[in-house]
A and B are shown apart, each in its own frame.
Chain A
Amino acid sequence: MRGGDDPGRHERGAASLETTGVTIIAAMVVLGLMMAAVPQGKVIGETFSYWVCQVVTMGQGGCTPPSSSPDAHKPTDPCVLTQDGVERNQKISVIVVTAEDGRRIEIQKLSNGEYRVTVTDTGGAGAEVGVGGGLTVTVNDTKVGGSATAQAGASISIRDGDVYYADKDNIGDLMDALLQDQVKDTVAGDSGPIRWLTDQATDLVGVSNDLPDPDEVYAEGGISLNASAEATSLTDSASAGVSESVLLGTRKNRDGTTTVYLKTKVSGKAGLQSLGFDTDGDPQFQGARLEGSAEVVTAVTFDSEGNMVKVSATATAAGSSAGVASAIFGGESDPALSNQEGKLRIYQATLPIDSAADQSVANQFLLAQGVGALGGWSNPALGVPGMLMTQNFFQAAQSRGTVTQQDYDTSSNTVFGLDASGKLGIELGVSASVQEDSMTTTGAQYWDGTQWVDWEECSA
């Protein structure tokens, strides 16, 4: 008998092939279920889709990069744990307010153990207090006005100033040098023959503690550190409830990059809807005070060659800004922020520019704010800013960048008495010679791609 006559011989192995096929399919189903169940499954799926897209389009298509793994969403930049500010009115007077000469020193303890000391001119006492004065906050390299009880919840000001970094062993020397410099500026002025004489005398006696060169430098307005201010193009946003962007200033960072700061004001429900956020039917928005407004600070960082490397958006949720700010960043709405003085939450979304898709999202986000150019950079995004452009940015940050929310308790002897120290102070010509404020973090979370998780390093 030949083998070909044996039907069973023809089907020999067929069962195992079918079994194998069924097993593979079953395995894929199980794998798919497992991938759907675990956080990494989404990332793996997106990675697969991304590379398929890249192959099909031969790398020319606008393929959306995969989301980062949950761990990759954890911010690596240090955050601010505590901050103390002592604002000295250099003319020392408690009698007459005549402007300028103010200086503000902010001492921040960062989560990596470093101290960051920011020295800025406040532009004098009275006129600034109650308007742009009071508590300001520098969080994750973005300076945001706190003003916890102010109507807008965030008042922004960036002024010319210097930033110094010091470790625990050197912070004392740095502060001594700053104070000595302040005394010298007051007694002898910051330049001229008498200042020269002072420096020579103190060096000779050996009592002087010289101030080091700053690690970073702030510049108020313009893009003087990067390119010509004339190249900056900011147009009025056509969107309802969204103000035109205002250029706050720039900062030359110690890693050689330059950050340009802009602010936009988003007002209430109309503003949110203009940005593409649906305010109807979402339980998160219900009860939030959407009639308020929030100022969003956008920080665009360029490397030394002018390439955009990072875009971040920051807002302070406090007072009447709490609802709007929380809605923009997808944060957890906390009614206490609307009602309690001395509490604020800082939201920040950061998107590193690692791909063409990231760049496109960033361009459209900036276009939505009316930013056509920043120094030497021109926005290639075309068209009228429309819905979803801003929302796309926050979704991209949630997917491939970092989104954080950090709570602070604040105290100040000026921020809670704006009328008294500001308007009344101007009327009477009286201002406090020293204004102090402080803030301490009470909790922090970051978005891991699927949910908010505790950010332990920044919750101390």
Chain B
Amino acid sequence: MDLRLMSRLAVVLAAGALVAWLAALFVGLSSGSPTAAVVLRTVLTIVVLVLLTRIVMRRAYGEPGLLGRVAVTAALAYAISPAAWAGRALVAQLFLDPGIATVILDLVLWVAVVVAAGQSADTRTASPTAAPYQLS
């Protein structure tokens, strides 16, 4: 997984999470329920993270250290998500007042989801070897 793919994954995840976050907000506004908005936000964001990770990971090669790079990419995506700055990205707000604690808890969940999705994603075979007829 090269640097370009990592950057692409980070941006896609951050953008997708923002869209999910807004969609949950709009639904929450119409329902008038803060609880529903937070729960829906969490569900939609997780779904988006899983789907986008699996899609982008199809371009990656299954090489050693891939999951570590995926984790770093997930953390980077979290860092550039505006909702994460306020500790209002995922579900931690249901248990604690928004703050540094919810930022950390949401980060842990976010990275775990992305890594799990990356682990189960279909990747290219690792380190394509040159065919005998190919010139090295």
Name the prevailing secondary structure of the B interface residues: helix
**Which one of A18-26, A31-39, A90-98, A408-416 is at the interface?**
A90-98
Interface pair A188/B25, CB less than 8 Å apart: yes
Closest to B41 in A: A187
Instruction: Scan residues 97-111 of chain A and give those whose CB is less than 8 A from a CB of chain B.
Output: 98-101
Q: In the complex, are the beta carbons of B86 and A183 less than 8 A apart? A: no
Contacts of B88 in A (CB 8 A): 187-189, 194
Say yes or no for A450: interface residue by CB 8 A criterion. no
Of B90-98, B117-125, B127-135, the one with at least 4 CB within 8 A of chain A? B90-98
B interface, how many residues as a size bin? 20 to 34
Assess the B96–A91 pair: CB atoms within 8 A. Answer: yes
- Assuming the A-B contacts A183-B28, A187-B41, A202-B25, are A197 and B95 also in contact, with contact meaning beta carbons closer than 8 angstroms in the complex? no
Name B93's contact: one of A92, A99, A205, A208 (CB within 8 Å). A92
Segment from B6-14, B31-39, B63-71 that makes contact with A: B31-39
Name the distance in Å between B1's Cβ and chain A's nearest Cβ.
30
- Which B-chain residue is minimally distant from A198 (CB atoms)? B25
* Assembled-state Cα–Cα distance A317/B28 (Å): 42
Residues from chain A with Cβ under 8 Å of B29 in the complex: 180, 183-184, 202, 207-208
In the complex, how many angstroms separate the beta carbon of B101 from the nearest chain A beta carbon? 10
B86 touches A93 (CB 8 A): no
Asked if B94 and A91 sit within 8 Å, CB to CB, the answer is yes
With known contacts A194-B82, A197-B82, A92–B38 Cβ distance under 8 A: yes
Tell me which residues across on chain B come within 8 A of A283, comparing CB atoms. Answer: none
Residues of B near A186 (CB, < 8 A) are 34, 37-38, 93
Select one of B21, B24, B86, B93 contacting A91, CB under 8 A.
B93
B97 touching A98 by the CB < 8 A rule?
Answer: yes
The docked-state distance in angstroms from the alpha carbon of A207 to that of B98 is 25
Q: A193-B82, A194-B88, A433-B35 are in contact. Are A187 and B94 (CB under 8 A)?
A: no
- A184-206 with Cβ < 8 A to chain B: 184-189, 192-194, 197-198, 201-202, 205
Taken together as a complex, chains A and B put the C-alpha atoms of A453 and B32 apart, in Å, by 44
Q: Is the CB of A202 within 8 A of B96?
A: no
Whole-angstrom CA separation of A185 from B30 in the bound complex: 15
A176, CB-defined interface residue at 8 Å: yes
The one of A98, A183, A192, A194 in contact with B34, judged by C-beta atoms closer than 8 angstroms, is: A183
Give a binary string over B36-63; 1 marks a CB under 8 Å from any A CB, 0 the rest: 0110010000000000000000000000
In the complex, A31 Cα to B16 Cα: how many Å? 90
- Nearest Cβ in chain A — how far from B23, in angstroms? 10
Question: Is B34 a contact partner of A187 (Cβ separation < 8 A)?
Answer: yes
Asked if B83 lies at the interface with its beta carbon under 8 angstroms from chain A, I say yes
Asked if B116 CB lies within 8 Å of chain A CBs, one says: no
B26 touches A180 (CB 8 A): no
- How far apart are B80's CB and chain A's nearest CB, in angstroms? 12
Instruction: Report the Cα distance A176→B29, complex, angstroms.
Output: 9
Interface residue A88 (Cβ < 8 Å from any Cβ of B): yes
Complex Cα gap A92–B94 (Å):
6
The A-contacting residues of B in range 75-89, CB under 8 angstroms, are 82-83, 85-86, 88
Interface centre among A176, A183, A189 (most CB of B within 10 A): A183
Which residue of B21, B86, B95, B96 contacts A192 across the interface (Cβ within 8 Å)?
Answer: B86
Interface centre among B25, B41, B83, B94 (most CB of A within 10 A): B25
Q: Which of B28, B86, B94 interacts with A189 by CB under 8 Å?
A: B86
Instruction: Say whether A182 contacts B98, CB under 8 Å.
Output: no
In the complex, chain B residues whose CB is within 8 Å of the CB of A198:
22, 25
B95 touches A187 (CB 8 A): no
Q: Is A460 an interface residue (CB 8 A)?
A: no
Known: A100-B97, A207-B26. A180 touches B85 (CB 8 A): no
A88 x B86 contact (CB < 8 A): no
Known: A188-B25, A197-B82. A183 touches B33 (CB 8 A): yes
Q: Are A188 and B35 in contact (CB under 8 A)?
A: no
CA distance A208 to B21 in the complex (A): 16
Q: How far is the CA of A100 from the CA of B88 in the complex (A)?
A: 17
Asked whether, in the complex, the Cβ of B35 is within 8 Å of the Cβ of A92, the reply is yes
Task: Select from chain B the residue with minimum beta-carbon distance to A124.
Answer: B97
Check if A14 is an interface residue, CB within 8 A of chain B.
no
Give the Cβ gap from A196 to chain B, nearest Cβ, in Å: 9
**Contacts of B22 on A, CB cut-off 8 Å?**
198, 201
**Can you show 20 pairs from A to B with CB atoms below 8 A apart?**
A90-B34, A92-B35, A95-B94, A179-B32, A180-B29, A182-B32, A183-B25, A183-B34, A187-B38, A187-B88, A188-B25, A188-B86, A192-B85, A193-B85, A194-B83, A201-B25, A205-B26, A207-B26, A207-B30, A433-B35
Interface residues of A (CB under 8 A from B): 88, 90-93, 95-96, 98-101, 176, 179-180, 182-189, 192-194, 197-198, 201-202, 205, 207-208, 433
A91-B96, A187-B24, A197-B82 known; 9 new pairs, CB 8 Å cut-off, are: A99-B97, A186-B34, A186-B93, A187-B21, A187-B37, A189-B88, A202-B25, A208-B29, A433-B35
Chain A to chain B: the 3 pairs with minimum beta-carbon distance, closest first: A186-B34, A179-B32, A92-B35
